[in-house]
Amino acid sequence: MGSFKGKHFQTALSAIESIANAASMSAVGDIVAATVKSFGYNHVCFLASTGVHQPFEDRVLLKVWPKPWAEQYSASNFYASDPVAPRIRRQPELFTWSDIRLDEVSPISRTIMEIASVDYGLKFGLCAPVHGMNGYQAGLSLAGYEVENTEDAHGAIELVTMYAFNRFATLRSHQRAKLIALTLREREVVSWVAAGKTAWDTSVILGISEDTVNKTVTAAMHKLNAHTRAQAVAEAITQGLIAF
């Protein structure tokens, strides 16, 4: 990230201070949208990396798009062929849509870019990826018609993006912790699963039937949005619901 100063630096600092005090994800989104709008970007999409198999909508942290464009993008599954998506996942540095060479992408990818520009006025696009120790974490994609395309503006947007994602992650973690409320029995059973005990072992330890153990594990898996027992254990540990 390049250095920047002056009014853009103050804009970034003001946004970061507001983000730090934001009590909800929607509040963070409003701050981000207002900040990038000051640079001419009226259309915003902030996506988090939550697994390659997660649907596009499940990854959205913030989306301020023209309604017809959002509907067409979703209905036509444009995300699968959007040339911005793979680049923002692999490139840690900020880039503009014009950096993408259309002669190197598929015909459908070129069509998506043309529809965005011609039909919806998304003339100039900018992407600010967020990469951590484990790779791609999130990305902010912006578009507008008349934008401030300067290094100082880019620096401010990049800095705000990083702070916003960290706040999003913190608030979402708190939100999920409130939503995921395992009962005492569910925590006990999942803890024994984590310890490598079978359903029969657990039934003997807790003095309940093996069928009850299996039903309890299934209920916990559903709450944790887990498809396997191992995934349920991992999620419960991550959320601090059981000790390990």
State pLDDT tens for residues 52-63. Answer: 566 788 889 999
Q: What is the mean pLDDT of residues 188-216?
A: 95
Which of 139, 163, 144, 160 lies closest to 8 in space, CA to CA?
Answer: 160
- pTM for this one? 0.71
φ/ψ of 101, rounded to 5, equals -80, 115
The gap from C-alpha 206 to its chain's centroid, in whole angstroms, comes to 39
Considering the four listed CATH numbers 1.10.10.10, 3.30.365.10, 3.40.50.300, 3.30.1360.30, the one that applies to the domain covering 180-238 is 1.10.10.10
Q: What is the mean pLDDT of residues 116-138?
A: 90
Q: Which residue has the higher pLDDT, 43 or 171?
A: 43
CATH number, domain 6-178: 3.30.450.80
Question: Rounded to 5 degrees, what angle do the CA atoms 112, 117, 122 make?
Answer: 110
Ordered by start, the domain boundaries in the chain are 6-178, 180-238
Place of tokens 């309890």: 216
Inter-residue contact 18 to 30 (CB < 8 Å): no
- Residue 31 has a pLDDT of 97
Bin 77: left if φ > 0, else alpha if -120 < ψ < 50, else beta. left
- Residue 178 has a pLDDT of 61
73 is written with which tokens? 């993008």
Q: Check the CA dihedral 49-50-52-57 and report its sign.
A: negative
- Percentage of residues of the chain with pLDDT beyond 90: 69
Inter-residue contact 136 to 149 (CB < 8 Å): no
pLDDT range class, residue 244, cuts 50, 70, 90: low
